[in-house]
Amino acid sequence: MARTKQNSPELRVASGDGEPVKPEKDRKFVEALSRGLDVLRAFSQGSVILGNQDIARITGLPKPTVSRMTYTLTKLGYLSYNTQLEKYQLSSGVLALGYAYVSNLKVRQLAKPYMDEFARQTNMSVGLTCRDRLHMIYVENRLPPEASLLRMEIGLKLPMATTSAGRAYYCAISDKARTMIDEAMADKYGDAWPEKKEGLEQAMKDYKEHGFCLSLGEWDRNINSAGVPIHLQDGTIMALTCAAPSYLVPGEKLRGSIAHQLAMLAGDIESLGV
């Protein structure tokens, strides 16, 4: 069985426009590097500390291969080994890479003042997210001056299927990419997939009609949010979101006015030429 069939759905779907992790018969594709990155990604599946057996289960890689990968990644400073637990966790080398990406993200720097003003006017948390497999990751989050709720830390991962950020991204990509994501989500969610798919189809309808997507208590029953895609000049698609507790911003208010304002904000950010 090919390795791409063994891996979990999340590890089979690349970022970007949804292309496979390993294109068939691609001589330029470095299999060992791919496996090493799969090992690092295993730590984003929920546990912060993993043993070789845990990593093998998550990635579908043979345990001897995982052992060589974790040894090498530890030597390079991307993993650290806990001798008491005999398990691994991410090390500062990964943090350095992530910080370099976020700090050099031009759209994040240019969008900040616009996001601050929107947060102040609407009293909502405003986030900028990018895709990672079947999740969206916060690269920026701005809060209204007096708010302490919904502080989404940079690096926080959100599921694509049930959040406004994920739905906005899903609606903006190509049909081919969307089909591949559907297949991966069907594998991931199993019997729960039809319900997830129904929410995504409703998001498509909302996006085509209104230019935004909603998540009204579907990710967290106490949170309402809206999302809009942002198209960068290099072809990257990100998602701009606003969120608040449902008792502060009911769905009617979000759909009736604030989500439309968010769509206008996304247009303003795109016009900056990022």
Q: Could you read off the pLDDT of 111-128 as tens digits, one per residue?
A: 999 999 999 999 999 999
Question: Residue 13: its pLDDT value, please?
Answer: 61
Question: Residue 93: its pLDDT value, please?
Answer: 85
| Distance set, CA 159 to CA 93, 156, 219, 259 (Å) | 25, 10, 8, 20
Per residue in 28-42, pLDDT (tens digit) is 888 899 899 999 988
Q: Quick one: 113 and 241 in the same domain?
A: yes
* Residue for token pair 């990710």: 219
Cross-strand pairs, 132:
135
Backbone angles phi, psi at 65, to 5 degrees: -65, -45
Read off the pLDDT band of 234 (50, 70, 90): confident
Per residue in 94-114, pLDDT (tens digit) is 877 777 777 668 888 899 999
Distance CA 139, CA 272 (A): 18
Domain-terminating residue out of 38, 56, 91: 91
Whether 129 shows a pLDDT value over 90: the answer reads yes
Read off the pLDDT band of 24 (50, 70, 90): low
Q: Quick one: 132 and 213 in the same domain?
A: yes
Q: Quick one: 179 and 61 in the same domain?
A: no
Mean pLDDT, all residues of the chain:
87
Whether 269 shows a pLDDT value over 70: the answer reads yes
Q: Quick one: 77 and 145 in the same domain?
A: no
Of 265 and 1, more confident = 265
- Report the pLDDT averaged over residues 140-168: 86
Q: Quick one: 134 and 30 in the same domain?
A: no
* Domain membership flag for residue 167: yes
* Domain membership flag for residue 96: no
Q: Quick one: 73 and 137 in the same domain?
A: no
* Domain membership flag for residue 121: yes
Domain count, the chain: 2
Whether 47 shows a pLDDT value over 90: the answer reads no
- Report the pLDDT averaged over residues 148-164: 84
Question: Residue 219: its pLDDT value, please?
Answer: 94
Per residue in 207-228, pLDDT (tens digit) is 999 999 999 999 999 999 999 9
* Domain membership flag for residue 200: yes
Structural domain including 120 reads 105-270
Question: Residue 26: its pLDDT value, please?
Answer: 76
Read off the pLDDT band of 92 (50, 70, 90): confident
Question: Residue 182: its pLDDT value, please?
Answer: 96
Q: Quick one: 58 and 82 in the same domain?
A: yes
Q: Quick one: 86 and 43 in the same domain?
A: yes
Question: Residue 115: its pLDDT value, please?
Answer: 95
* Domain membership flag for residue 236: yes
* Domain membership flag for residue 99: no
Q: What CATH number corresponds to the domain at position 217?
A: 3.30.450.40
